[in-house]
A = this chain, B = another copy of it.
Amino acid sequence: MRHSLAGRAESAIQARLLTRLRDEGPLSKAQLADRLQVSRTTVAAEVGRLLELGLAQEAGPAASRGGRRSTMVDLAEDIRFVGIAIGATGMTVGVTDGRLATLATRQLGCDIRQGPEEVLGIALAGVREVLDELGVEQPAGAGIGVPGPVDFDRGMSVTPPIMPGWDGYPVRDAVSRELGCPVLLDNDVNLLAIGEQHSGVARRARDFLFVKIGTGIGCGIVIDGELYRGVDGCAGDIGHIRVSDEGPTCACGNIGCLEAYAGGAALARDATVAARAGESPFLAEVLEANGVLTAADVGLAVQRGDASAVQLIRGGGSRVGQVLATLVSFFNPGMIVIGGGVTGLGHPFLAEIRGVTYGRSLSLATGSLPIVLSEMGDEGGVVGAARLISDSVYAPESVN
């Protein structure tokens, strides 16, 4: 067990060594020299320094390639990253190893409107439980995602429409103080995107969009393998794109926002109306029993072939497709990944999104465009958060 915090990479070559080991697994010094196009002497010296920093370890002789055997190098086996993925109505916290494999996660209930102190208190208590369970004394870093715009450089939320009390709260610094390690804060959807890129369906994609449809709707944008955040950090905020000049009032106060048609809260609202209007005996029954309907109930109704529920999710899917068609014409991505709770609605929802997106975009841009469901689920945010902070620990900007 290590008691002191591992260091960060000190040189551009160390950074390249560490990210190779993270993304490819253990490699021999000879392989590392080949991949980085530097001499074996340089690799040996830099690996030596990484051993001292507690970031790498040697792992026995490599298989022979003829000549002198090379030594295998791996990330230090005790590196641990914390990932905290906070949503509007719940969160997932977890701990990964140095290669971002998840060792343990925990789902916790919360309401983002309780404000930062309470919500972060829940998150930190959960993190401490998981760290204790795994016997981790000191994580190497932590990433946090929150459901709203983030000033990445200052590490705080800015003007988040659904997060009263969070505007300007120093989330990054507060959590860093509590955990005693480097922390980075980002928008939840950005982290889902890079989590999917690290371990999910977007592993080979360089330019793709990750569209999260949960209580709200947002989009992570990856360009040439890197997150694009926009000049004010609010790129991808597609939930408040106006899809109709009439339409329902959104939580943000405007009318006709995509989120107010197709987000989880919107589906629950419309399902309640349908139940009360006698259009769906099943939904009426659930409403009677629980006093409230959720998007998940709509999913159950769809599974039972409830026509009214199918109509609801087709309507939502169609609005999502309408926006995605516009984004495909503009951005010509290589892949669109759909994630978030509403993806539990199953095939008819995805089918509607695909139909409208493919039907309304340029054929040149959709010819080889996969529109697929996330493979990562709730774990995506944890892996993405770990990925974010691992980039900073393994390849800090100061050495690039």
Residue numbers of A with Cβ under 8 A of B are 149, 158-159, 206-207, 219, 221, 223, 228-238, 240-242, 322-323, 325-327, 329-334, 360, 362-365, 367-368
From B158, B219, B332, B362, contact of A364 by CB (8 A): B158
Q: A363-B159, A364-B149, A364-B158 are in contact. Are A329 and B240 (CB under 8 A)?
A: yes
On chain B, the residues within 8 Å of A221 by CB distance are 330-331
Specify how many copies of this chain sit in the oligomer.
2
On chain B, the residues within 8 Å of A149 by CB distance are 364
The 8 closest A-B pairs by CB, nearest first: A230-B332, A235-B332, A231-B334, A234-B364, A241-B326, A234-B332, A241-B329, A234-B365
Q: A232-B365, A365-B230, A367-B232 are in contact. Are A241 and B159 (CB under 8 A)?
A: no
Nearest-CB residue, chain B, relative to A159: B364
From B236, B238, B326, B362, contact of A323 by CB (8 A): B326
Q: A326-B241, A326-B323 are in contact. Are A231 and B332 (CB under 8 A)?
A: yes
Q: A159-B363, A237-B365, A364-B159 are in contact. Are A231 and B207 (CB under 8 A)?
A: yes
Interchain CB contact under 8 A, A241 and B325: yes
Complex A-B: 21 CB contacts under 8 Å: A149-B364, A159-B363, A206-B231, A219-B330, A221-B330, A231-B332, A232-B367, A233-B332, A235-B331, A235-B332, A236-B332, A237-B329, A237-B332, A237-B364, A238-B330, A241-B326, A241-B330, A242-B325, A323-B326, A326-B326, A330-B331
Interchain CB contact under 8 A, A230 and B242: no
Nearest-CB residue, chain B, relative to A326: B241
Interchain CB contact under 8 A, A331 and B230: yes
On chain B, the residues within 8 Å of A228 by CB distance are 223
Q: A231: shortest Cβ distance to chain B, in Å?
A: 4
Q: A372: shortest Cβ distance to chain B, in Å?
A: 15
On chain B, the residues within 8 Å of A368 by CB distance are 232
Q: A143: shortest Cβ distance to chain B, in Å?
A: 21
Nearest-CB residue, chain B, relative to A252: B362
On chain B, the residues within 8 Å of A241 by CB distance are 325-326, 329-330
Docked pose: A233 CA to B368 CA in angstroms? 13
Q: A29: shortest Cβ distance to chain B, in Å?
A: 27
Nearest-CB residue, chain B, relative to A207: B231
Interchain CB contact under 8 A, B333 and A330: no
Docked pose: A229 CA to B334 CA in angstroms? 12
On chain B, the residues within 8 Å of A327 by CB distance are 330
Docked pose: A331 CA to B365 CA in angstroms? 18
Interchain CB contact under 8 A, A236 and B330: yes
